[in-house]
């Protein structure tokens, strides 16, 4: 029906013009009167293909050429029959639009446009589209007739609706061939699912319904303003109405692969199609890690995270390309393995003749055994010395922190000795020798604790060592006898001085063990630290006795601090061997 005002074509039952809005009700009434007046003279209408036709199962002849033989199936927008072409003498598949869409102009134009695009596709894995027939009441497609069944029907016959891995990989590789070809022709299927994949009686796979998926979307858009398709097979970008490319078909194909392997689709239940956008499927139990990794990459929500093309997916499935996947095992399809075995198969050879009795067996050369000499005693002694030096922090192969601990400890002892020398000059005659000696050991303990923090570059460790070193210096007051008189550099009793140094070394070792959170290590550090402090004091007493003739306050305090820093830090280092393996992050 055409508008009298603008001349635009409208539906026969339209009340208003879709272009200019003119009221067409009067024109509609006139056409009905005219139709009633001429009804007796009108020819018989063409046959109508609808649900009743399929239920009746009768035969009809279309255009004097195509004879309907068998009803094959029904989709959301059309019905499929097996027909016979009388002129060419071959079976065809005829797909009709349902009668309620026969007058939809947008649907018809879209079907024509997509039919022209699908007719360009000529591939062995694609159902061929031959022609589009447009009659007053029938719009249908002429397609290749495939003898076989759909992938969904094939899975329904199997136990738990599951196919084997080799079967699914072979089917999907052939579909990837079809998609690679169609994508190069700038045609996107957009409705891949098990019902649209056909398996012939020879086992060949063909992809069908090119164009119908697109007409479905156009037709439903005009009525409900929604994107059509099967929600559980649609990609997120297709659900949201975003621009599409070939990767949307890879997403739908991966959903199909998942369903064939698991026996159920990854997304199902009482969820809206928008909920599928955020849902992540679980790996399939009983399927190899290799194939699960490929499927999960296909099911990435963002198109950039999937395989870039159907050709790349096919190469990965065939084992020709790894695709950047860190896989635990390599799986190769059985038919690829069979081809390799056949290619590498050697021709049969005649059996070896029986050996004669007079032929002696060959004499094989004896294998030479090389003996490893045991290390000498001198070599073992050298290894022990290097081992002790390594853990004490003395050698080049010692760790950086062990070397820094001795260096910082020795430097801190020298600085503390210089500071005590300067303080002793300013306080001469003011304080008693006992008080100043107590103060000196406290300074040594605090400075050595700070040195530990600088060596390991850990503030908490330095604060802990400083606190315990300072506390050890304070405790030395218990070991210094009362009533000391004379010069500070002459009044230090050997026993009490040794005990004071041992207390400082033990508490610094306890701080190191507490930081590493090990009771056994704390005990070892305390023992070795006390041993280092005592050894430093004994060595200091020996040096002072040898050079007593020209002994002075400056070398007194500096040498004592140097020996305390070096000996205590080395002693704690000797207790660090087990901690190196147990606490590698604390080094």
Q: Active-site residues: which are they?
A: 191
Q: b/e map of 465-479 (b: 16 or more CB within 10 Å)?
A: bbebbbbbbbbbeeb
- By C-alpha distance, which of 180, 198, 48 is closest to 121? 180
Cβ neighbors of 483 (< 8 A, separation 6 or more) are: 434
Which run of H or E residues covers position 66?
Answer: strand 66-74
Helix axes 433-456, 494-516, angle to 10 degrees: 30
Which run of H or E residues covers position 452?
Answer: helix 433-456
**Terminal-to-terminal C-alpha distance of the chain:** 90
Report the phi/psi class of residue 413: left, alpha or beta, with left for phi > 0 and alpha for psi in -120 to 50: alpha
Residue pair 578/512 in contact (Cβ under 8 Å)? The answer is no
Query: What is the side-by-side strand order in the sheet with 148-150?
Result: 148-150, 197-200, 205-207
- By C-alpha distance, which of 348, 77, 52 is closest to 191? 77
- By C-alpha distance, which of 227, 225, 165, 223 is closest to 191? 227
- By C-alpha distance, which of 455, 464, 448, 458 is closest to 510? 464
Distance from C-alpha of 35 to C-alpha of 106, rounded to nearest angstrom = 25
69 is in an annotated binding site: no
Cβ neighbors of 10 (< 8 A, separation 6 or more) are: 1, 2, 3, 17, 18, 24
* C-alpha distance from residue 168 to each of 165, 257, 320, 334, 335 (Å): 5, 7, 17, 12, 13
Distance from C-alpha of 528 to C-alpha of 251, rounded to nearest angstrom = 67
* C-alpha distance from residue 587 to each of 451, 461, 513, 578 (Å): 15, 12, 12, 12
Distance from C-alpha of 452 to C-alpha of 463, rounded to nearest angstrom = 9
132 beta partners: 141
* Helices then strands, each counted (H, E), the chain: 19, 9
What is the Cα Rg of the chain in Å? 47
Identify the three-state secondary structure at position 327: coil
Q: DSSP strand E in 126-255: where?
A: 129-134, 139-144, 148-150, 197-200, 205-207
- According to DSSP, residue 410 is labeled H
Residue pair 405/456 in contact (Cβ under 8 Å)? The answer is yes
DSSP secondary structure, 339-359, as one string: HHHHHTPPPP-PPPPPPPTTP
Distance from C-alpha of 316 to C-alpha of 321, rounded to nearest angstrom = 5
* C-alpha distance from residue 117 to each of 94, 101, 136, 554 (Å): 18, 21, 23, 101
Binding site for ATP: residue ranges? Answer: 95
Binding site: residue ranges? Answer: 95
């Amino acid at each position: 029906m055409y508008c009298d005002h603008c001349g635009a074509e409208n539906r026969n039952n339209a009340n208003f013009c879709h272009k200019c809005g003119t009221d067409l009700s009067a024109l509609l009434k006139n056409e009905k009167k005219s139709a009633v007046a001429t009804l007796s003279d009108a020819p018989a209408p063409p046959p109508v293909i609808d649900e009743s036709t399929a239920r009746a199962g009768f035969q009809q002849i279309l255009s004097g050429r195509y004879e309907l033989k068998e009803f094959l199936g029904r989709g959301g927008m059309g019905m499929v029959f097996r027909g016979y072409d009388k002129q060419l003498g071959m079976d065809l598949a005829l797909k009709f639009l349902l009668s309620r869409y026969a007058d939809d102009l947008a649907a018809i134009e879209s079907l024509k446009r997509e039919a022209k695009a699908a007719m360009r596709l000529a591939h062995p894995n694609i159902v061929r589209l031959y022609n589009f027939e447009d009659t007053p009441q029938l719009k249908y497609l002429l397609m290749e007739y495939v003898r076989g069944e759909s992938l969904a029907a094939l899975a329904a016959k199997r136990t738990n609706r599951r196919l084997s891995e080799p079967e699914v990989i072979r089917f999907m590789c052939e579909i990837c061939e079809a998609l690679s070809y169609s994508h190069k022709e700038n045609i996107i299927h957009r409705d891949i699912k098990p019902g649209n994949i056909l398996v012939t009686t020879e086992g060949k796979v063909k992809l069908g319904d090119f164009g119908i998926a697109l007409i479905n979307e156009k037709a439903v858009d005009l009525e409900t303003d929604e994107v059509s398709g099967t929600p559980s097979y649609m990609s997120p970008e297709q659900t949201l109405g975003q621009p599409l490319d070939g990767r949307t078909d890879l997403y739908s194909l991966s959903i199909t692969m998942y369903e064939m392997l698991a026996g159920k689709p990854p997304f199902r239940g009482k969820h809206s199609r928008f909920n599928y956008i955020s849902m992540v499927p679980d790996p399939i139990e009983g399927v190899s890690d290799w194939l699960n990794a490929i499927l999960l990459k296909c099911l990435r929500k963002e198109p950039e995270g999937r395989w870039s093309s159907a050709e790349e997916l096919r190469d990965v499935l065939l084992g020709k390309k790894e695709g950047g996947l860190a896989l635990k095992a390599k799986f190769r399809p059985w038919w690829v393995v069979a081809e390799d075995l056949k290619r590498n198969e050697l021709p049969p050879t005649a059996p070896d003749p029986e050996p004669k009795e007079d032929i002696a067996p060959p004499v094989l050369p004896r294998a030479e055994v090389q003996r490893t000499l045991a290390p000498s005693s001198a070599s073992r002694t050298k290894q022990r010395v290097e081992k002790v030096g390594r853990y004490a922090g003395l050698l080049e192969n010692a760790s950086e922190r062990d070397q820094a601990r001795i260096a910082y400890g020795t430097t801190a002892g020298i600085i503390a000795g210089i500071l005590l020398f300067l303080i002793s000059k300013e306080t001469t005659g003011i304080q008693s020798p006992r008080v100043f000696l107590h103060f000196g050991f406290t300074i040594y303990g605090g400075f050595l604790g700070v040195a530990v923090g600088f060596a390991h570059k850990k503030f908490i460790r330095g604060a802990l060592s400083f606190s315990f070193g300072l506390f050890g210096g304070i405790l030395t007051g218990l070991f210094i006898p009362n009533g000391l008189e004379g010069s500070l550099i002459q009044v230090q009793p050997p026993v009490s001085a040794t005990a004071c140094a041992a207390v400082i070394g033990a508490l610094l070792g306890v701080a190191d063990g507490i930081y590493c959170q090990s009771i056994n290590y704390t005990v070892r550090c305390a023992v070795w630290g006390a041993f280092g402090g005592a050894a430093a004091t004994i060595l200091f007493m020996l040096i002072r006795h040898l050079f007593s003739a020209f002994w002075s306050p400056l070398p007194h305090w500096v040498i004592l601090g140097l020996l305390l820093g070096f000996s205590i830090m080395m002693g704690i280092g000797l207790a660090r061997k087990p901690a190196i393996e147990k606490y590698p992050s604390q080094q």
